[in-house]
Amino acid sequence: MANPVPSACCVVLAVVVVVYAQRHSQQDSHIQYERVGADVTMKCGSMDWDAAVTWTANGTDIDDSHLNGSYLILKKVDLTQSGQYSCYEGSSWHLKYQTYLRVGVPPKEPVLMCRSNNYPKGFYCSWHLPSPTYIPNSFNISVIHGTREMVCEKDIFPKNRCHIRYLQLFSTVKYKVTLTVTNALGKNSTTLTFDEFAIVKPDPPESVVAKPVPNNPRRLEVSWQNPSSWPDPESFPLKFFLRYRPLILDQWQHVELSDGTSHTITDAYAGKEYIIQVAAKDNDIGTWSDWSVAVHATPWTEEPKQLTTEVQITGETLTQHKHPALRGPGYG
């Protein structure tokens, strides 16, 4: 006669598998957005108010004290309560409702900046939020020049930036850029209005090098290159601003240079290490760039001469100053 125990085990295992599958099925699933501090009520799908149900959050059973009938009540939700909420029917654990709760806040006014670092080709605008919303946001930007709407081509990276090409140079008509940020809990916007010339700001000079001048203890030679993003330095030349100081002092010395990409510092302190930076600006319009990467250099110093001293000690002098303990046997 066959042993009935294995068959019974198979039946129990099958029941467990069915219950597990019911608890983890994705029926009636969606995302629910709620504001931080809000009271949230979740209904268990089509179940009646007085139906026996069990709620879970991220797979953990929720205490019945949070239920009003079959409804789940969450008071003053915070960020830690984001997650997957599921409702199961009675003891059968049949999934009746599932939602992913995302707790967040509406966006604050975004920070928008527009700048031309490759004049006269065009300009770019970049943006960010002053504080996180903890939920997805979408951004929409519009650029208007006079009565004409222009295309702002979004960058692949970084995602919060787009480029606009100038269609007309030396225009006196202002640009108007509006950025709108939207999420499931609200939206906000900001607008910039500016002249073409006002936003010209080159990138910092590149390849800054500082080195000592041989046989000159108070001089340093500094050289640099135009920023590679500046497309036409011949037609739109840059001027430069050099600052330098010894590490032992906090006060900078400054030199403005109308042309060229080099300068010789003639008033350095001998033997002191210096820190040096350079900024750039279009000759006629816009504002100064940020400072370049700092470089360090120390003026030339003369190699110390090797001193040689010969000392002649006579036997008589040595004998006169000999310590008694060091006198040889039979002395005196």
Secondary structure string (H, E, C) spanning 109-145: CCEEEEEECCCCCEEEEEEECCCCCCCCCEEEEEEEE
- pLDDT of 32: 96
Question: Is the Cβ–Cβ distance between 181 and 189 less than 8 Å?
Answer: yes
Question: Which CA distances in Å does 40 have to 47, 67, 73, 242, 257?
Answer: 18, 12, 6, 60, 64
Domain 111-199, CATH: 2.60.40.10
Cα torsion 90, 92, 94, 99: sign: positive
Going from N- to C-terminal start, the domains of the chain cover 26-104, 111-199, 206-297
CA dist 134 and 127 (Å) reads 17
Mean pLDDT of 122-143: 98
Question: Is the Cβ–Cβ distance between 22 and 97 less than 8 Å?
Answer: no
Model confidence band, residue 162 (pLDDT cutoffs 50, 70, 90): very high
- pLDDT of 253: 98
Is the pLDDT at 143 greater than 50? The verdict is: yes
- pLDDT of 9: 42
Instruction: Quote the pTM value.
Output: 0.75
- Residue 120: is the preceding peptide bond cis (ω within 30°)? yes
Q: Please compute, for residue 79, the number of CA atoms within 13 A of its CA located in the half-sphere on the CB side.
A: 6
Mean pLDDT of 217-239: 97
CA dist 175 and 148 (Å) reads 10
Is the pLDDT at 225 greater than 60? The verdict is: yes
Is the pLDDT at 193 greater than 60? The verdict is: yes
Is the pLDDT at 102 greater than 60? The verdict is: yes
- 78 three-state secondary structure: coil
Mean pLDDT of 188-194: 98
Is the pLDDT at 53 greater than 60? The verdict is: yes
Average per-residue pLDDT in the chain? Answer: 87
Architecture per CATH, domain 26-104, reads as Sandwich (2.60)
Mean pLDDT of 236-263: 97
Q: Please compute, for residue 167, the number of CA atoms within 13 A of its CA located in the half-sphere on the CB side.
A: 12
One of 3.20.130.10, 2.60.40.10, 3.40.50.150, 1.10.3720.10 is the CATH number of 206-297, namely 2.60.40.10
- pLDDT of 310: 54
Quick one: tokens of 136? 């997805």
Q: Do domains 26-104 and 206-297 have the same CATH topology?
A: yes
Mean pLDDT of 25-47: 85
CA dist 330 and 332 (Å) reads 6
Is the pLDDT at 65 greater than 80? The verdict is: yes
Model confidence band, residue 167 (pLDDT cutoffs 50, 70, 90): confident
- pLDDT of 311: 53
Question: Is the Cβ–Cβ distance between 277 and 191 less than 8 Å?
Answer: no
Model confidence band, residue 308 (pLDDT cutoffs 50, 70, 90): low
Mean pLDDT of 198-226: 98
Mean pLDDT of 223-228: 98
Residue from 22, 32, 24 nearest 83 by CA: 32
